[in-house]
């Protein structure tokens, strides 16, 4: 059994409520942290090797140490609960079933960073989870773990939940800050980074839900102990939300010692491919990371077994590897059409582009159009090259990473499944007959071909 430090109490009945949480060792980490100096808490997080769990994988302790501390200026901690990357639903699970784990992590992190007002920015669709979090916050207030002079430390802190209103882009930290200021979610140009100039122009740290929850076990066991879990620089545990054509979709906590093969086929995790089908491909880290065909997914190009670690999933770069990303693990069986799936993702990114940068605003629309043509058997071989060209012109040419996120899935699909794109061109009648895709368009080709 893999070691669990986040979901280890998830099975306990009533763990959502303060009394049960407290009885099971809850808020011990807060008590421990408040006996330390804030800088020492940051030091523990550094030692733990914890990396941002939202997708970028940036070392959390380092991010915290960048926070500017000018005299007399408030600092803010913002929890990014805008979970919107297709394939990702792990933060929802944490907040829904273990709200006090997050609140505890937020209190400790707020103390470490000196944030007296801390915000949880949650995607608007998770409306019922807002109630769960607000109840947990109220319980923590009653118990004296929030509010004025927490545990006699002289430190004040309050946590507020802010609901978004439907925008993937608000998961990008500067777009999130804009949204929290009551504006459109248009990402800001960096620098300045939020650590210097963030929410209301004050120094701000934005961290993912799972990252902040992980601060609790880090304080409980100590950063060095936490760093012993996992493999190499992939320390600790990671939540993986598994979905697609598998027998057991759900949220799993792994200690990053598992191989991809074990994760997909063992009964402890995905339980194999549904309906007795074969594994075709997988997008292992949320929709924006490169899709891998089964052979490259299970073994690296060097022929080594691929592991569920940041390093191993990325082994081979984008040529033959992928990324851990957000841990949104999307499995496709042999019946799935990669062109169709890529089209679905391209439509997603077109819909979610904020429209600030031309390469992304125009390019995502073009990719959707060209992919629709191809999927419905109206494409030419040159369209595959055109598609490649468009994604190349988006990548790296935008203010925020949404452009890259839109370009990568298209690039990887062509890289590994070019034959399937060509099949659509060479077998137009069959491609049309399958009547795949986008059921909502009266005539999908009207959209693409005009």
181 lines the binding site for other proteins (CB under 8 A)? yes
Which position among 92, 238, 306, 373 is part of the footprint of other proteins (CB under 8 A)? 92
376 lines the binding site for other proteins (CB under 8 A)? no
Which position among 61, 86, 293, 403 is part of the footprint of other proteins (CB under 8 A)? 86
Q: Which single residue is written with the structure tokens 């669709």?
A: 125
272 lines the binding site for other proteins (CB under 8 A)? no
What number of chain residues touch other proteins (CB under 8 A)? 63
Is the Cβ of residue 41 or residue 120 nearer to other proteins in the bound state?
A: 120
Residues across the chain: 450
Is the Cβ of residue 147 or residue 396 nearer to other proteins in the bound state?
A: 147
Is the Cβ of residue 3 or residue 117 nearer to other proteins in the bound state?
A: 117
417 lines the binding site for other proteins (CB under 8 A)? no
Stretch binding other proteins (CB under 8 A), from 34-42, 57-65, 188-196, 434-442: 434-442
Is the Cβ of residue 37 or residue 165 nearer to other proteins in the bound state?
A: 165
Which position among 18, 21, 89, 145 is part of the footprint of other proteins (CB under 8 A)? 89
174 lines the binding site for other proteins (CB under 8 A)? no
200 lines the binding site for other proteins (CB under 8 A)? yes
37 lines the binding site for other proteins (CB under 8 A)? no
416 lines the binding site for other proteins (CB under 8 A)? no
CA-nearest of 101, 115, 108, 116 to 36 is 108
CA-nearest of 206, 117, 116 to 170 is 206
Nearest distance in Å: CB 39, other proteins? 25
Sheet of strand 115-122, all strands in order from the earlier edge strand to the far edge: 158-163, 115-122, 75-81, 204-208
Is the Cβ of residue 223 or residue 290 nearer to other proteins in the bound state?
A: 290
Query: CA angle, 340 as apex, 360 and 81 as ends, to 5°?
Result: 55
- Kindly identify the residues of this chain, within the stretch 109-148, that bind other proteins according to CB under 8 A: 117, 119, 123-128
85 lines the binding site for other proteins (CB under 8 A)? yes
Which position among 65, 135, 141, 162 is part of the footprint of other proteins (CB under 8 A)? 162
- Kindly identify the residues of this chain, within the stretch 331-350, that bind other proteins according to CB under 8 A: 332-333, 336, 340-341, 344-345, 347-348
In the stretch 282-301, what mask flags binding to other proteins with x, by CB under 8 A? -x---x--------------
449 lines the binding site for other proteins (CB under 8 A)? no
Which position among 163, 277, 299, 393 is part of the footprint of other proteins (CB under 8 A)? 163
Question: What residues make contact with other proteins under the rule CB under 8 A?
Answer: 74, 83-89, 91-92, 117, 119, 123-128, 160, 162-168, 179-185, 200, 241-245, 249-251, 283, 287, 328, 330, 332-333, 336, 340-341, 344-345, 347-348, 351-352, 354, 437-440, 442
């Amino acid at each position: 059994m893999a070691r669990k430090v986040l979901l280890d109490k998830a099975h306990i009945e009533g763990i959502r409520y303060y009394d049960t949480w407290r009885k099971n060792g809850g808020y011990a980490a807060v008590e421990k942290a408040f006996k330390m100096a804030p800088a020492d808490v940051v030091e523990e997080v550094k030692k733990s090797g914890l990396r941002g769990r939202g997708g970028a994988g940036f070392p959390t302790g380092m991010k915290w140490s960048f926070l500017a501390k000018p005299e007399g200026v408030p600092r803010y901690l913002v929890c990014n609960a805008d979970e919107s990357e297709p394939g990702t639903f792990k933060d929802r699970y944490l907040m829904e079933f273990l709200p006090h784990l997050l609140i505890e992590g937020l209190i400790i992190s707020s103390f470490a960073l000196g944030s007296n007002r801390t915000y949880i920015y949650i995607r608007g669709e998770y409306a019922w989870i807002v109630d769960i979090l607000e109840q947990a916050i109220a319980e923590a207030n009653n118990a004296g773990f929030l509010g004025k002079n927490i545990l006699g430390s002289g430190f004040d802190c309050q946590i507020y939940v802010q609901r978004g209103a439907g925008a993937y882009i608000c998961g990008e930290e500067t777009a999130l800050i804009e949204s929290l200021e009551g504006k459109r979610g248009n990402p800001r140009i960096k620098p300045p980074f939020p650590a210097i100039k963030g929410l209301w122009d004050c120094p701000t740290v934005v961290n993912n839900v799972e990252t902040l929850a992980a601060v609790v076990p880090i304080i409980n066991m100590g950063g060095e102990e936490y760093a012993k879990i996992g493999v190499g620089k992939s320390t600790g545990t990671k939540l993986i939300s598994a979905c697609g054509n598998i027998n057991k979709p759900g949220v799993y906590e792994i200690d990053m010692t598992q191989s991809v093969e074990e994760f997909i086929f063992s009964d402890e995790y995905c339980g194999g491919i549904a309906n007795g089908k074969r594994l075709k491909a997988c997008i292992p880290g949320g929709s924006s990371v490169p899709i891998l065909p089964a052979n490259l997914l299970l073994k690296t190009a060097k022929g080594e077994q691929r592991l569920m670690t940041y390093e191993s999933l990325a082994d081979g770069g984008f040529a033959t590897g992928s990324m851990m990303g957000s841990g949104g693990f999307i499995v496709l069986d042999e019946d799935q059409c990669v062109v169709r799936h890529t089209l679905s993702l391209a439509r997603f990114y077109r819909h979610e582009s904020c429209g600030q940068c031309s390469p992304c605003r125009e390019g995502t629309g073009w990719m959707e159009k060209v992919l629709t043509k191809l999927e419905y058997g109206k494409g030419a071989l040159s369209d595959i090259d055109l598609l490649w060209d468009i994604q190349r012109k988006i990548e790296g040419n935008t203010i925020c990473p949404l452009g890259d996120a839109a370009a990568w899935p298209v690039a990887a699909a062509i890289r590994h499944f070019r034959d399937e794109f060509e099949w659509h061109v060479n077998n137009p009648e069959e491609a049309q007959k399958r009547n795949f895709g986008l059921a909502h368009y009266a005539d999908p080709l009207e959209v693409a071909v005009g």
